[in-house]
Structure 1
Amino acid sequence: MRCLNCGNKSINELNLKIIFGFEDFVPDNLCELCRSQLNPLNYDEGCIRCYKKNDSNICEDCLLWDKKYNIINCHQALFEYNQFIHSYFKNYKWYGDILLAELFSKDLYNWSKSNKFDLITYIPASNGHLEARGFDPVWEMYHKVFDLTSMLVKIDADKPQAQKNRYERLQTPQTFYFHPDRLDIPSDSSILILDDVYTTGRTLMHARQALEIVGFNNICTFSLSR
């Protein structure tokens, strides 16, 4: 198989569980060279609430959400946002290379096997972004790995988050509301919200608040990168 990012050969080893059908085969779409440019995140080397690489146990962003909204953040991410991740999202989201949606499928699948929730939703694209891109990048990235339920609607903002500085991101007004057709979901359900990148947390905090307003409290979040 070929790496979806650079075209080099990627190595996929089959074990007995896969061969005899006891385990799904999910190809690794990254070659060794591309994978070497990733910086994996983990609980032991960063913020215990959002996985950001940090000198203290709790980063400034999480302390802000705790102080301002009384939210004890519960977030996990796979990779540190670096130049490789930046280039990936530039090609995927801005240049519209939709094949890159499956670049990290193996990593996402491995994470999903050890993290279970009653219901999994995602940060949807606004109508404006959907029309401009022609696809929803978050849904495309996750829908083949997770059983997704649409719970949120996103209103078009003044400008994309990627074009804002840190202060502007933190001041972004609420742009989400709960999907009106999803009122039959038990309020005590454990819910996971998926996004592609966590920068300050503003987007995911707004998504959490939209669900909390209608009675959901057991909420965690996840992103490919932090």
Structure 2
Amino acid sequence: MSYCLNCHQSYMETWSWQAFLGLGIVPLLCQDCEGRLELIKGEICRICGRAFSLFPEQYRQGDCCFDCIRWEEDPTWNGVLQQNRSLYVYNDFLKEVIAKLKYRGDAEIVKAFYPVAKTSFRKISRNGLVIPIPLSEERHYKRGFNQAELLARGFSSQPALLLKRKTHEEKQSKKTREERLVQKENPFQVIDAEKLQGQNVLLVDDVYTTGSTLRYAAKVLLEAGAKQVSSITLAR
């Protein structure tokens, strides 16, 4: 008998990750909760990992979505983020799960995603540094943990905490798309540039929305000496 990390109901292990993903790992969510998650699969944008099946054909060009084409056409951002890959579609169910994690302090629930994190995206790390997107000191203090750092432990037992936020700012979730994209200065700074020299970096965050947060972080890491930067998020 096991207990689901999301709904906390008991369930019998009559199904498994092996049946679902070929992993052979004990499930940490009940079958009902797991079934409400939507893995990103099929054709995706080469850069941001967005599933092409979720938006009209006219919003893509070849193997890229228009959002990424706009980023890449800007000389300031061209090539800054090598690629992003996300585990799941940001549907209503996952939105609620992430709210439990971030705003209601249910840090344990993040472990439900470790099996997929550890097995499905090994190639993207390229044996480099795994760096979580940091919170401001104020928000970290209020929350008690950084959800991106907890997620990063699904990829590395010792994430490299080499980024910090310069100032406390309004939550990204409260900003419009335009406000997310228009940032006067980079909100991130590198803590120890020496450890970055020539390194491939995998940034980790909870949700990819516009891609601005990850690109600002990638830019400051590249300027400090990183070789290239990719990212992975729980949701897209």
Return the letter of the residue paired with 1:96: G
Please state whether the residue corresponding to 1:45 is helix, strand or coil: coil
Q: Partner of 1:195 in structure 2?
A: 205
Unpaired runs of 5+ residues, structure 1, are 16-23
Deviations 1:18-72 (A, max 9, x none): xxxxxx9864211211111111113x42212111123323112211210122126
1:153 aligns with 2:164: yes
TM-score by length of 1: 0.85
Given candidates 44, 47, 59, the residue that maps to 1:46 is: 44
Which shifted more, 213-222 or 198-207? 213-222
Distance 1:162 1:87 in 2: 14
Q: Partner of 2:92 in structure 1?
A: 83
Distance 1:27 1:112 in 2: 19
Return the letter of the residue paired with 1:192: L
Q: CA deviation at 1:134?
A: 1.3
Is contact 2:197–2:224 with CA below 8 Å preserved after alignment?
A: no
Deviations 1:94-152 (A, max 9, x none): 11112212121211122254444222111011101111111111112222541311111
Distance 1:124 1:217 in 2: 20
Q: CA deviation at 1:158?
A: 3.0
- Give RMSD over aligned pairs: 2.3
Return the letter of the residue paired with 2:6: N
Distance 2:32 2:141 in 1: 35
TM-score by length of 2: 0.82
Identity of aligned residues (%): 26
Q: 1:113 to 1:26 in 2, by over 3 A?
A: farther
Distance 2:44 2:121 in 1: 21
Q: Partner of 1:162 in structure 2?
A: 173
**Aligned pairs (5 A) from 1:1-226:** 1-8=2-9, 9=11, 11=13, 27-42=26-41, 44-54=42-52, 55=57, 56=60, 57-68=63-74, 69-71=77-79, 73-115=82-124, 116-146=126-156, 147-173=158-184, 174-179=186-191, 181-187=192-198, 189-226=199-236
Count of paired positions: 215
Is contact 2:181–2:212 with CA below 8 Å preserved after alignment?
A: yes
Distance 2:12 2:49 in 1: 28
Distance 2:115 2:51 in 1: 23
Is contact 2:85–2:232 with CA below 8 Å preserved after alignment?
A: yes
Q: 1:151 to 1:85 in 2, by over 3 A?
A: same
Is contact 1:28–1:105 with CA below 8 Å preserved after alignment?
A: no
Q: Partner of 1:20 in structure 2?
A: none
